[in-house]
Amino acid sequence: MSIIEKPGLSKGYNRAEYLGESKPPTVREQLRGVMDSVLPACKDFESFLAALQEAGAEVKHGKQLSFKLPSAKRFTRQDTLGDNYSFEAILERISGKRTGLLKEKPHATTNSSVAPNLLIDIDAKLREGKGAGFEYWARHFNLKAMSQTLIFIQENGFESYEALAEATNAICSDYNQRLEKIRTADKRLAEIQQLQKHIKVYGQTRETYTKYRKSGYNKDFYETCRADITLHEAAKKYFDSHGYGRDNKLPSMQSLKQEYATLLAEKKKLYSGYKELNERRKDLLAAKCNAERILGIGKISSEKEMSRTHQRNDSHSL
């Protein structure tokens, strides 16, 4: 084993350095890539902006120029892209005064956490009117995504497409079963809350309603106690609609509290590892979809599943 001679001078690594190439490209990295691809053909800053728009980026003028790629949710200010992408730097790169970019730190490419990005359907995007700049960037992105897919498949020990498909189907089934259990628990928890609310109201207004009934449903009594009578009748209507009556007595508040606590504990248990399971599922779906496209086999149905993932990821939280 090696001996650290001066442990006080040792340097640690931050999260970004540790993850290295395993991270998917950020919005800023993608935007810088598009800028790098269109710059060589630009004669001035106006043609640079026009080339960006042709590549699919939106340009917003203000105190600072801002850009937005089709895949981004919000605009990114130019002054946050780095020294080589400021207004002055772009002009210098167009004129040839600035020829080289700052060297990037080397990244590790063998990290076991490498996750594949979904390949872009370039032909479909071009039919939507994307320009040559977008095509250049997208092809570069797809090459990197294919490399990440290969690394992911190798590191996870999949020796065939069938093995990858089997693992993907298994984790999707596990995820869907867990999600269905969570939804069932959520539904029952909501039902218990409503039932507790109506039982409480029913008990608080029972005496008033009994007097109202004994009065022969007197109109003056009704007007005096309208609020309590209305609430009591609403609670009774709720019980009837949910099958509570002579043969099916109302549960006690204590039993409902115990059931609620049990369901809540089960829901928390289901959520344990839920995020990790979902991330693993998305990685396998992306790898399977990419493998199908690269090998030209099967129907690429994983893309639909990937798109649905973003719609339901945040629909369940503790």
> Where in the chain are the domains?
20-155, 161-312
Contacts of 45 (CB under 8 A, 6+ apart): 87, 90, 91, 94
pLDDT band at 113 (very low <50, low <70, confident <90, very high): low
pLDDT digits (tens, 9 = 90+) for 6-28: 555 445 545 454 444 445 678 88
The answer to pTM > 0.85 is no
Most confident of 40-49, 54-63, 131-140, 166-175: 166-175
Residue 225 is given by DSSP the state T
pLDDT band at 313 (very low <50, low <70, confident <90, very high): low
> By mean pLDDT, which of 82-86, 134-138, 248-252 is the weakest?
134-138
- Per-residue model confidence (pLDDT) at position 109: 39
Q: Which two tokens stand for residue 15?
A: 């999260």
> By mean pLDDT, which of 187-191, 269-273, 310-314 is the weakest?
310-314
- Per-residue model confidence (pLDDT) at position 214: 93
Rounded CA separation 5/280 (Å) = 41
Contacts of 303 (CB under 8 A, 6+ apart): 118, 289
Secondary structure string (H, E, C) spanning 96-110? CCCCCCCCCCCCCCC
